[in-house]
Structure 1
Amino acid sequence: MGYAAHRVASAGLSALASPATVATTKHSLTVYTIQLGLNLAWMPLFFGARRPVEATADLVALLGLNGWLAYTWSAIDETAAWLQLPYLGWLAFATYLSAGAGYLNDWDMSDKALEARKKAE
């Protein structure tokens, strides 16, 4: 991710880039920063707050943003777009795991719900 962003910034913000490319690059790097924040938010949502619905929604948004980044970056630096592919695969798998954990726990992973399930066994 970081190397891909570096490639885009280097190519898209160079003095030889067109004004449209510079504008697209700046916008895409803003979206890149936003997706870093979403990435940072997932772990506290899932493990700290035990909110699988919100954590899965976070991952779906993260997957969408990174798909859009790969599409946008392909116009600036094709290699940077291809470098996003493993991360997109990981995000898809993480979304599956997050949704699966939520589904298997009836979308409630609070301490109270986990204790009730233990007593029911």
Structure 2
Amino acid sequence: MTTFIPALTLPAAVFAQPAASILLPVAVGTAVGFSSRPTDTQKSYMALKQPPFRPPPQAFGPVWTILYGLMGYAAHRAYSTGMHPLSSTEQHLLTKQGATLYTIQLGLNLLWMPLFFVAKRPIEATVDIVALTGVAGYLTYIWGKVDPIAGWAMVPYLGWLGFATYLSAGVGYLNDWDTKGKEVDSPPSTKTTDTKFVDEK
């Protein structure tokens, strides 16, 4: 059982305001993506040996934008329902615990890209995303008890995290857990049909 930890929890105003709750993860996720130099990130991504079913690099931006928005909606919905004056004491408690878990998982989420692409530490990045998936799964369960719609809104995010964990571990394994110094000469074409990875002919 987690507890509510104010020092590790976003301000209540973020959860209470729908626009702030939805836009915050979208904004910080986009900021981290751009701070990791997207062109260089794509060069590195294309140069790495990839496991089967890996998506083209152009897919990640739109997918994450949608998932961050759903995550923010779930946060607002669960908080508004759980902290309503007519809600039970248990719902209040679960909502506050969920707010702490939400903040922790958001931090773990934002840490993955710098770990994997900037620091080039695939082992640490994979440990991070495994922990993230676990925390997000528990959060989905808690918020589902507070408000079923909030719980279901987290399901696509949780599913994508499972897939991303597979990709992170797969890339690490196929590249001997060493991604330093690997990058192609130019970023991939914007056309999906032209996307070629280093292990493709």
Q: Using structure 2 for the length normalisation, give the TM-score.
A: 0.54
Question: How far 1:20 moved relative to its partner?
Answer: 2.1
Q: Please give the per-residue CA displacement for 1:24-80, whole angstroms capped at 9, x wherever unaligned.
A: 110111110010000110000000001111111111111111110111111100011
| Structure 1: segments with no counterpart, 5+ residues | 116-121
Q: Give the whole-Å Cα distance in 1 for the aligned partners of 2:115 and 2:145.
A: 34
Residue in 2 aligned with 1:78? 148
1:42 matches 2:42? no
Moved >2 Å (runs of 4+): none
Q: Give the whole-Å Cα distance in 2 for the aligned partners of 1:21 and 1:86.
A: 23
- The sequence identity of aligned pairs, in percent, is 61
Q: Secondary structure at the match of 1:84?
A: helix
Residue in 2 aligned with 1:6? 76
When the two chains are superposed, the root-mean-square deviation of aligned CA atoms in Å is 1.3
| Count of aligned pairs between the two proteins | 113
Higher helix residue share: 1
Higher relative contact order (CA 8 A, sep 6+): 2
Amino acid at match of 1:8: A
Amino acid at match of 2:74: A
Alignment of 1:1-121 (within 5 A): 1-111=71-181, 114=182
Q: Give the whole-Å Cα distance in 1 for the aligned partners of 2:147 and 2:87.
A: 12
Question: How far 1:17 moved relative to its partner?
Answer: 1.4
